[in-house]
């Protein structure tokens, strides 16, 4: 089983959330079980990382396994070896592959040829591990997904895509506000709308941040300029200037929880005052990456080999 899209988890989502809860509870008590003893995870990074690298590496250590860090420049991938050859070779050495890639298509190809589970640690299209942890965090804080409204303010990017799919799957209402031209991927949105029809939630995509924030239980934002978009920086800063999560926007919602996947550009997409407010659960999100990914690794690797 691969987890390249958040939807790949399917009905295992609910058992994954429960396992995350138990693992977090055990970690609080200093209890760590070697369920992945003698298991190894290859971690391929084509983009820089703090949370993804550290959380996966620590997760494998706490589960009794081992993580191998690989960047493109130190691999034969950087010298022209094909993805399919890399996938088949690594599959002979390790029990799973986590990849943070520049191209979603490359991760799909890796998943096609690998004979061990492949985990998407981030592509330009989706960020499933982040959003699985986010959904766990929301359930932890709200108790359920029904009757909850999540407002995403900013770029219709990979995090937004996985949030749309994840929210629609669990039946959580979601609104998205982006500037014109930065709306979510059409195919992702159509898929989310089909799922929402089944789960009974509502999805709204608008260019009006105030409309999106109205009545929101949670406001979520992300950086305006992602890795690889540096050449667009000045244009993006102009286009997104009315999409800042600040006290004025927060008041439209009432007293919402505040989420951000980090790293944050304080003073741009979110003000320091909001990020540091009592309603901010940003660092709970960050911590929960570790616990969710431990649960995911147990699910994918514990029965392998």
Tens digit of each residue's pLDDT (9 = 90 or more) over 263-272: 999 999 999 9
Question: For residue 75, what pLDDT band results from cuts at 50, 70 and 90?
Answer: confident
Residue 303 pLDDT > 70: no
Question: For residue 74, what pLDDT band results from cuts at 50, 70 and 90?
Answer: confident
Q: Which two tokens stand for residue 55?
A: 């959380």
Cβ–Cβ < 8 Å for 118, 97: yes
Mean pLDDT of 122-136: 97
% the chain with pLDDT above 70: 98
pLDDT of residue 305: 39
Q: Three-class SS string for 68-133?
A: EEEEHHHCHHHHCCCHHHHHHHHHHHCCEEEEECCCHHHHHHHHHHCCCCEEEEECCCCCHHHHHH
What is the residue extent of each domain of the chain?
A: 6-127+289-301, 130-285
pLDDT of residue 100: 95
pLDDT of residue 277: 97
Tens digit of each residue's pLDDT (9 = 90 or more) over 83-119: 999 999 999 999 999 999 989 999 999 999 999 999 9
| Closest alpha carbon to 296 in 175, 99, 117 | 117
Residue 177 pLDDT > 90: yes
The topology under which CATH files domain 130-285 is Rossmann fold (3.40.50)
Q: Which of 15-19, 44-48, 87-91, 202-206 has the lowest mean pLDDT?
A: 44-48
Mean pLDDT of 69-85: 79
Domain 6-127+289-301 has CATH 3.40.50.1370: yes
pLDDT of residue 186: 97
**What mean pLDDT, rounded, does the chain reach?**
95
Q: Rounded CA gap, 24 and 294, in Å?
A: 9
Domains 6-127+289-301 and 130-285 share a fold: yes
pLDDT of residue 134: 98
Predicted TM-score (pTM) of this structure: 0.95
pLDDT of residue 78: 58
Q: Ramachandran region of residue 116, left (φ > 0), alpha (ψ -120 to 50) or beta?
A: beta
Which residues are known catalytic residues? 100, 127, 130, 222, 261, 289
Residue 214 pLDDT > 80: yes
């Amino acid at each position: 089983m691969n987890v390249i899209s958040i939807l790949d988890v399917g009905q295992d989502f609910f058992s994954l959330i429960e396992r995350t809860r138990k693992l977090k509870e055990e970690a609080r008590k200093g209890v760590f079980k070697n369920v992945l003893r003698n298991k190894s995870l290859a971690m391929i990074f084509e983009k820089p990382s703090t949370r993804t690298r550290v959380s996966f590496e620590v997760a494998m250590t706490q589960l009794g396994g081992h993580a191998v860090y690989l960047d493109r420049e130190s691999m034969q991938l950087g010298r022209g070896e094909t993805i399919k050859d890399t996938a088949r070779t690594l599959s002979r050495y390790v029990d799973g592959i986590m990849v943070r890639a520049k191209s979603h298509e490359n991760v799909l190809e890796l998943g096609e040829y690998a004979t061990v589970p492949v985990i998407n640690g981030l592509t330009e299209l989706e960020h499933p591990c982040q959003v699985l942890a986010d959904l766990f965090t929301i359930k932890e804080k709200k108790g359920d997904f029904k009757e909850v409204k999540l407002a995403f303010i900013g770029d219709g990017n990979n995090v937004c895509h996985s949030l749309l799919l994840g929210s629609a799957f669990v039946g959580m209402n979601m609104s998205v506000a982006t500037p014109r031209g930065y709306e979510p991927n059409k195919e992702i949105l159509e898929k989310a709308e089909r799922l929402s029809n089944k789960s009974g939630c509502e999805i709204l995509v608008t260019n009006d941040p105030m409309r999106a924030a109205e009545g929101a239980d949670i406001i979520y934002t992300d950086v305006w300029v992602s890795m690889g978009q540096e050449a667009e920086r000045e244009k993006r800063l102009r286009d997104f200037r009315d999409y800042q999560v600040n006290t004025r926007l927060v008041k439209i919602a009432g007293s919402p929880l505040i989420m951000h996947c980090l790293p944050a550009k304080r003073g741009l997409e979110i003000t320091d005052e909001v990020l540091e407010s009592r309603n901010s659960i940003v660092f709970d999100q960050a911590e929960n990456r570790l616990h969710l990914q431990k649960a995911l690794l147990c699910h994918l690797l514990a029965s392998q080999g």
